[in-house]
Amino acid sequence: MTSISPTSKLAVLVGLTMLSWSLLFATTYGYSFFWDDLHFIRAYSSAELLSTFHGPNDPDGIETAALRPIMMLLFCFEGTIFGENVVLLRVFMAVLMGVLLWVVGLLLRRVGLSFRHIAVVFVLFASSKVFASLMLWMTLGAQILCYIFMTLTALFYLRWVDGEATPVLVLTLGFTALAISTREQAYTLPVVLPLLWCIVSPRRTNWRRAVVGVLGVTVILAIHFMLRRIFVPNAPSIWPSLGGTFSLLRSVRSAWMPSGYDVPGHGDQLLSWLWLLWQGFLSVLFLAFLRISSNRSFVQFFGVCVLGVVLCTSALVAPRSFDIALPALAFFTAISLAIFEVHQFSSTIPYRQSSWRPAVLGILVLGVALGVVGGIRGSQYIADALHDNSVRKVISDGHFLFDFYPKPASIPARRRAAGLARLAALGIRSSEDLRRLERDVKESPDQFIRNRDAKSALFLPKYGFGTF
């Protein structure tokens, strides 16, 4: 009987991961456009698209100025192909996420991880709150695309360092250009790539190729930085501030937690217990790992943790809860490494003490289950925050639909009409009604909290979309 190839096993794992998430959150596939989606995802004229290559990414002049032409090409593709069909748009988001999982799986295999390591990483990531955030806000399709390009950059960089031909270096530089033209997270690549090389090649062989690859990537990023300064002079600074240190620490803490780190507002006792138990599990796991790990395993574990922190550094400039997907993947990889190191050590326990083996295995399985259940519960709150009757969503959408911004947003006519009708059905028919709703939410939120379970009327979600 022919065994299944590693590539086929990875494809099946990706498919099962996306299918499982889609079944759990099937109702979200019908959610309407949210906030920036209203004006970003649409068909653009040729002049508008060309302007994003030498000017701000938003032709409406509403969003934060940036040089992100590939992001706008993605939005134009989505708006042109799928139009107002939110179900197909969300299916496309799932496809994008599946591609991200696929290339991450290929990279983890390249680093030397086994299929079971990758399976644990995928299970933790797919159940996490940041995964739900990326899937549910369609504007973040650009974030997923940037992560795909960054991962491909890393994958081809490692192949180049391993001695493959010059076209592999060209692909490395090409995917770097695509990544930085999509989102600024790619500015971390000159640090990320040599870190990955050190994790994969502890003897630091082929260091000349490693340096050449990093220099080439750095040149691409420097060119983008200069063009950004020239074409978008009012873009926010990308230099970190001292005050951003606390934001970095919060991002790092949150990236370790599938359920997120912050548990603010009207608390959820079950989520709080899962949060505490997960931290307890990680503490015990890491103490056991540090006690029994080999030098090679420890260096690999430590390197992946440092990689996760580096990927969090965008929080030094602009902390956002949905920016921690790649750091979360790095930290979940470290957790997976520790789990299987401890499990492998338990298999060496003498036979007369063999009762310890199932006990250790049970604790490891239970620990992963705690993370998964907590992550799913946190993800449900993200889904609630983007429900059509969520007060936060209604207010965010209303700011676009009632033209609260200095310039009117270019929202397609059918989408604007559907959005206004949806708000009117909830009693919000004018900008005055929206301002009254904002005032009521601040002064008397209890009336909206009461509707939280039924969700049949305006309700205040327990946790906001942007919580860490």
Task: Report the pLDDT value the prediction gives residue 4, as an integer from 0 to 100.
Answer: 78
78 in Cβ contact with 67 (< 8 Å): no
Helices (H) and strands (E) in the chain, counts: 20, 0
Q: What is the DSSP letter of 411?
A: -
| Per-residue model confidence as pLDDT tens digits over 410-440 | 899 999 999 999 999 988 999 999 999 989 8
Residue predicted with more confidence, 258 or 466: 258
Q: CB burial class (10 A; 0-12, 13-18, 19+) of residue 317?
A: middle
Tally of CB atoms within 10 A around 218: 16
Q: CB burial class (10 A; 0-12, 13-18, 19+) of residue 193?
A: buried
Write 341-347 long-range contacts (CB < 8 A, 24+): 341/289, 341/292, 341/293, 341/297, 341/301, 342/285, 342/288, 342/289, 342/292, 345/292
Predicted confidence (pLDDT) at residue 463 exceeds the cutoff of 70: yes
| Per-residue model confidence as pLDDT tens digits over 116-166 | 999 999 999 999 999 999 999 999 999 999 999 999 999 999 999 988 888
Rg (CA), the chain: 23
235 in Cβ contact with 67 (< 8 Å): yes
pLDDT band at 263 (very low <50, low <70, confident <90, very high): low
Residues listed for the chain: 468
Average pLDDT over the chain reads 88
Q: Give the C-alpha distances (Å, rounded to integers) separating 136 from 143, 202, 297.
A: 12, 39, 36
Quote the CA–CA distance of 439 and 419 in Å, as a whole number: 21
Average pLDDT over residues 100-121: 94
Which of the listed ranges 99-103, 109-113, 311-315, 461-465 does the model predict with the highest average pLDDT?
99-103
3-state secondary structure of 390: strand
| Per-residue model confidence as pLDDT tens digits over 350-376 | 655 566 778 888 888 898 999 999 999
Predicted confidence (pLDDT) at residue 107 exceeds the cutoff of 60: yes
pLDDT band at 252 (very low <50, low <70, confident <90, very high): confident
Predicted confidence (pLDDT) at residue 264 exceeds the cutoff of 60: no
Type of residue numbered 374: G
| Per-residue model confidence as pLDDT tens digits over 75-94 | 999 999 998 999 999 999 99
Task: Report the pLDDT value the prediction gives residue 103, as an integer from 0 to 100.
Answer: 96
311 in Cβ contact with 326 (< 8 Å): yes
Average pLDDT over residues 290-311: 89
